[in-house]
């Protein structure tokens, strides 16, 4: 089939490459000319494991362009995969989605299916369809289908090739047939629902996962007070198939481009309809506090950050990505700097983006070991493999080896007997 993807971000580019991989001709459109130039040269603009290799392997079925009018004119399906960021009031900003809808309406010359892959509030697909019809320049039939995406950054290719399900929201028989043939070579269950239910499946899933994380984080904080070990608690809980062992890893809270905005957007939508989601509200509040957990812990060891050198290991919101959206580093490092600390930071992929977002007394290091040297305290914010591989002796290069581990990278037992402090999440500190 001939498919266009609008937006070559984390979702759009991965979707394009995977659909090309299963045999479709895929046209990728983006308004970002520099990104398209890179892609035309076969250079992948984001860090996502296995993506560059799979992209290069399938270049013969991939076309990259900024010329949306030519791309949208006569295709079987057009996927909308642009961002839906958070507005100041927490609701979803749909301006990018509607802008693409207008461009499609101005350009299509034959019947096609428009697939909304971006995460959009319940009822948006209907509005996109109305918007398209209002702006259509020719007498063609366009069906709008909801097809939310469930990939996780860092494992996006694996997730899309071997996902747990593909959700398609449509009540049109012809659109259903088009979607079934787009996905026929991906061996995954396809669930067909109405559009509103498909839109809700995405938000309800993300918000449930966020809730699970905030729940285990609250339990972790209580474990610290009561002398229990949250890793053992989560293991014991996760063995119950009614609970499951995923998303029970305590830490300094979730970040990224989805959970923070999707919890706020659904909470906003509930309030708008006079139906507050109290559990989602609690998940948001717990997460905001959890991001400050290491700052609070640091007060046990120093009365002030003034003049301290803080080693920060990890800037991105999770390992395996260069994405900094809503990363705990963006909350923690400005607080450290504002309170007079000097920061030494390490991240294998996030430094360039971080420099664009935060300025101040920050020295960027190329290895975790160099970062730790002569530091007064260490904050672990991302569990990169090279951070997980550190041994207790590496921390002894610090001026005062106080390790605040926001990702529970190490077994506290291995720290015993060394002249250091190891304080993690939901476990008794070793000192």
Of the candidate residues 1, 31, 204, 237, the single one contacting ligand NAD (CB under 6 A): 31
Residue 30 in marked binding region: yes
Closest-by-Cβ residue to ligand NAD is 9
Answer yes or no whether residue 119 interacts with ligand NAD by CB under 6 A: yes
Pick the stretch among 79-87, 188-196, 233-241, 245-253 that binds ligand NAD (CB under 6 A): 79-87
Answer yes or no whether residue 231 interacts with ligand NAD by CB under 6 A: no
Answer yes or no whether residue 268 interacts with ligand NAD by CB under 6 A: no
Count of beta carbons in the 10 Å neighbourhood of residue 232: 12
d(C-alpha 240, C-alpha 261), whole Å: 30
Cross-strand bridge partners of residue 422: 403, 430
Region 137-166 residues binding ligand NAD, contact defined as CB under 6 A:
149, 151, 153
Answer yes or no whether residue 316 interacts with ligand NAD by CB under 6 A: no
d(C-alpha 421, C-alpha 364), whole Å: 24
Residue 166 near residue 183 (C-beta atoms within 8 A):
yes
What count of Cα atoms within 13 Å lies in the side-chain half-sphere of residue 430?
Answer: 19
Answer yes or no whether residue 169 interacts with ligand NAD by CB under 6 A: no
Residue 26 near residue 61 (C-beta atoms within 8 A):
yes
Q: Which residues contact 38 (CB under 8 A, 6 or more apart)?
A: 44, 45
Of the candidate residues 21, 30, 115, 336, the single one contacting ligand NAD (CB under 6 A): 30
C-beta closer to ligand NAD: residue 46 or 312: 46
* Residue closest to 213 by CA, chosen among 247, 174, 165, 173: 247
d(C-alpha 117, C-alpha 183), whole Å: 14
C-beta closer to ligand NAD: residue 317 or 422: 317
Answer yes or no whether residue 224 interacts with ligand NAD by CB under 6 A: no
Residue 426 near residue 219 (C-beta atoms within 8 A):
yes
Answer yes or no whether residue 392 interacts with ligand NAD by CB under 6 A: no
Residue 35 in marked binding region: yes
Q: Which residues contact 113 (CB under 8 A, 6 or more apart)?
A: 76, 77, 78, 142, 143, 144, 145, 175, 178, 179
The footprint of ligand NAD on this chain (CB under 6 A) covers a number of residues equal to: 27
Answer yes or no whether residue 326 interacts with ligand NAD by CB under 6 A: no
> Which residues line the annotated binding site for NAD(+)?
30, 35, 84, 119, 261, 325
- Which amino acids are annotated as binding site, given as ranges? 30, 35, 84, 119, 202, 247-251, 255, 261, 318, 325
Residues that bind ligand NAD (CB under 6 A): 6-12, 29-32, 35, 81-84, 96, 99-100, 103, 118-119, 149, 151, 153, 257-258
Q: Which parts are annotated binding residues for substrate?
A: 202, 247-251, 255, 318
């Amino acid at each position: 089939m001939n498919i266009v993807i609008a937006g070559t971000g984390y979702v759009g580019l991965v979707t394009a490459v995977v659909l090309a991989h299963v045999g479709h001709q895929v046209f990728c459109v983006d308004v970002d000319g520099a990104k398209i130039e890179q892609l035309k040269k076969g250079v992948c603009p984001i860090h996502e494991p296995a993506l560059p290799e799979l992209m290069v392997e399938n270049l013969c079925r991939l076309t990259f362009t900024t010329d949306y009018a030519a791309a949208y004119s006569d295709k079987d399906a057009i996927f909308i995969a642009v961002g839906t960021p958070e507005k100041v009031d927490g609701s979803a900003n749909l301006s990018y989605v509607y802008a693409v809808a207008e461009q499609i309406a101005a350009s299509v010359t034959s019947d096609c299916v428009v697939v909304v892959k971006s995460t959009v509030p319940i009822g948006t697909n209907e509005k996109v369809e109305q918007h398209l019809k209002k702006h259509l320049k020719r007498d063609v039939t366009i069906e709008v289908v909801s097809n939310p995406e469930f990939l996780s950054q860092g494992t996006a290719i694996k997730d899309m090739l071997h996902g747990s399900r593909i959700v398609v929201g449509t009540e049109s028989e012809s659109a259903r047939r088009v979607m079934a043939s787009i996905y026929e070579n991906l061996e995954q269950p396809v669930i067909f629902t109405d559009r509103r239910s498909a839109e809700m499946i995405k938000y309800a899933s993300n918000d449930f996962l966020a809730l699970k994380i905030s729940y285990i984080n609250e339990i972790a904080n209580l474990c610290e007070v009561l002398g229990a070990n949250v890793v053992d608690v989560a293991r014991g809980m996760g063995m119950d198939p009614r609970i499951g062992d995923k998303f029970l890893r305590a830490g300094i809270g979730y970040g990224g481009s989805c959970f923070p905005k999707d919890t706020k957007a659904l909470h906003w939508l509930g309030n708008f309809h006079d139906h507050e989601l109290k559990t989602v509200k609690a998940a948001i509040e717990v997460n905001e506090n959890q991001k400050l957990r290491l700052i609070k812990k640091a007060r046990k060891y120093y009365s002030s950050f003034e003049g301290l050198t803080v080693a920060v290991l990890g800037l991105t919101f999770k390992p395996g990505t260069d994405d900094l959206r809503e990363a705990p580093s963006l909350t923690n490092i400005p607080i450290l700097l504002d309170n007079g600390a000097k920061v030494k930071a390490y991240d294998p992929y996030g430094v360039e983006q971080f420099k664009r977002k935060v300025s101040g007394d920050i020295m960027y290091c190329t290895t975790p070991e160099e970062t730790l040297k002569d530091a007064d305290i260490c904050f672990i914010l991302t569990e990169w493999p090279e951070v997980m591989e550190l041994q207790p002796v590496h921390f002894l290069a610090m001026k005062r080896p106080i390790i605040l581990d926001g990702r529970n990278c190490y077994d506290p037992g291995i720290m015993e007997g060394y002249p250091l402090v190891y304080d993690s999440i939901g476990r008794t500190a070793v000192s």
